Amino acid sequence: MNKEEKQIDLIVIGAGPAGLTAGIYATRANVETLILENDIIGGQMRSSYTIENYPGFDNITGMELADKMEAQATGEGAIIDEFDFIESVSFSDQEKIIETGDYIYKPKAVIIATGASPKKLPISNESKYLGKGVHYCAVCDGANYADEEIAVVGGGSAALEEAMYLARLAKKVIIIRRYDSFHAEAKVINEVEQVANIEILYNHDLVNVEGDEFVERAIIRNTQTGKESTLPIKAVFGYIGTEPKTDLFKGNISLDQSGYIITDESMQTNVKGVYAAGDVRQKEFRQVSTAVADGTIAALKAEKYIVAKKEKCVMVKVYSVQWCGPCQKVKKYLDSKGIPYEVVTVADAKEERDVVLQVSGQRSVPVTTINDKVIIGFDKHQIDEALKNL
């Protein structure tokens, strides 16, 4: 199937808080924006029961905050496509290509906001019991364990908050924590310690889960004594950190050793016009508020880049006559690269003929001017070279 090619100002990849914020800012700046999402609009917010630290909302469910951000982005005019998935990307300073199932997009700028996914629990039965007692989303799967004993693995704020959510549904929640303390907000630690049906097992590692078709017990190890024991639980929920969703960009964008995208403070990656925002980029704190901040900066920088590119591009002129084959070829080539240009028809005015003579020293077309560079005839390499400097 021949895919339709589409030029667009900006594509945002990912509709979590970073991508939705970028969509809000970009469309408000009159930048034509498409957000591509391959899963659920709202990102990780959808798997967080409550969010208590996002300014302006002292307690809001992740679902509600996601709905609000989505409504605001689409209300401003951002288009979100959640059904056409990206197959490949190719980014260079000169050109950005995103191929989806349906289209070949050639955006002027790109914001990568693909976020992160939960790290898998490092146990050999992880895939065997995935969805059958091994879970990563309390709001999605927690209700299946009403009145059961279950465990949460992890020690950050997300682990503790999700444990408290699960404790409302389950008979008992055991938090398995590798170290002797948590790495979470003090307020959240205080809260979790008050919950009657939460038991905290410090200095313990999850070794494995076992059962028949579904999980029936967990094997744990005391990290100080090395002693193993068994917990009769029906599920483990893993919150041991996240890993970036960057497989698609390997080879196109500079990543750090853990796979996070390296940016500067303007969210600029190593490729001009490609920005990264939110959990997907290398940074210290990954929160909704920091994702939103990154999305804001990325959109404002992308807008500046797009405007500058458009202004520079009007400096491309093609002096031509209507029936000249090489003239058509120059125009076709510029079209294929998504470069806007002005056509000057030399037959129309003596002044234009004089300009051709002036800029090229001859009376022959096509003559293409790209800023100060003058290219006589159709010469792909010279055009490419001149465009590099735009």
Ligand X SMILES: Cc1cc2nc3c(=O)[nH]c(=O)nc-3n(C[C@H](O)[C@H](O)[C@H](O)COP(=O)(O)OP(=O)(O)OC[C@H]3O[C@@H](n4cnc5c(N)ncnc54)[C@H](O)[C@@H]3O)c2cc1C
- Is 36 among the residues that bind ligand X (CB under 6 A)? yes
Closest approach of Cβ 242 to ligand X, in Å?
Answer: 7
Closest approach of Cβ 205 to ligand X, in Å?
Answer: 21
For this structure, is 180 an active site residue?
no
Active-site residue, from 67, 84, 137, 324: 137
Active-site residue, from 140, 180, 256, 264: 140
Strands 33-36 and 79-81: parallel
**Using CB under 6 A, which residues numbered 152 to 211 contact ligand X?**
158, 161-162
**Using CB under 6 A, which residues numbered 326 to 385 contact ligand X?**
none
Taking a C-beta distance cutoff of 8 angstroms, is the pair 98, 36 a contact? yes
Taking a C-beta distance cutoff of 8 angstroms, is the pair 54, 48 a contact? no
Q: Figure out which of the listed residues 288, 299, 313, 376 binds ligand X, where binding follows CB under 6 A.
A: 288
**Using CB under 6 A, which residues numbered 96 to 115 contact ligand X?**
113-115
CA pair distance 153, 239, nearest whole angstrom = 6
Q: Figure out which of the listed residues 6, 28, 32, 39 binds ligand X, where binding follows CB under 6 A.
A: 39
Closest approach of Cβ 69 to ligand X, in Å?
Answer: 9
For this structure, is 327 an active site residue?
no
And the tokens for 361? 């020293």
And the tokens for 327? 């003239």
For this structure, is 141 an active site residue?
yes
- Is 269 among the residues that bind ligand X (CB under 6 A)? no
Q: Figure out which of the listed residues 278, 298, 302, 303 binds ligand X, where binding follows CB under 6 A.
A: 278
Closest approach of Cβ 272 to ligand X, in Å?
Answer: 21
**Using CB under 6 A, which residues numbered 6 to 25 contact ligand X?**
13-19
Active-site residue, from 39, 67, 84, 141: 141
Nearest to 159 by CA among 87, 241, 82: 241
CB proximity list for 157: less than 8 A, separation 6 or greater: 184, 185, 188
Give the binding range for ligand X (CB under 6 A) out of 265-273, 274-282, 322-330, 376-384.
274-282
- Is 61 among the residues that bind ligand X (CB under 6 A)? no
Q: Which residue's structure tokens are 């050793």?
A: 257
Give the binding range for ligand X (CB under 6 A) out of 216-224, 285-293, 312-320, 328-336.
285-293
CB proximity list for 21: less than 8 A, separation 6 or greater: 69, 73, 277, 291, 292, 295, 296, 299
Q: Extract long-range pairs of 97-105: CB within 8 Å, 24+ residues apart.
A: 98/11, 98/13, 98/36, 99/3, 100/36, 102/3, 102/4, 103/3, 103/4, 103/5, 103/6, 104/3, 104/4, 104/5, 104/6, 105/5, 105/6, 105/8, 105/11, 105/34
- Active-site residues, by number, are 137, 140-141
Question: Which residues of this protein are in contact with ligand X, per CB under 6 A?
Answer: 13-19, 36-40, 43-45, 47-48, 51, 53-54, 86, 113-116, 158, 161-162, 245, 248, 278-280, 286-289, 291
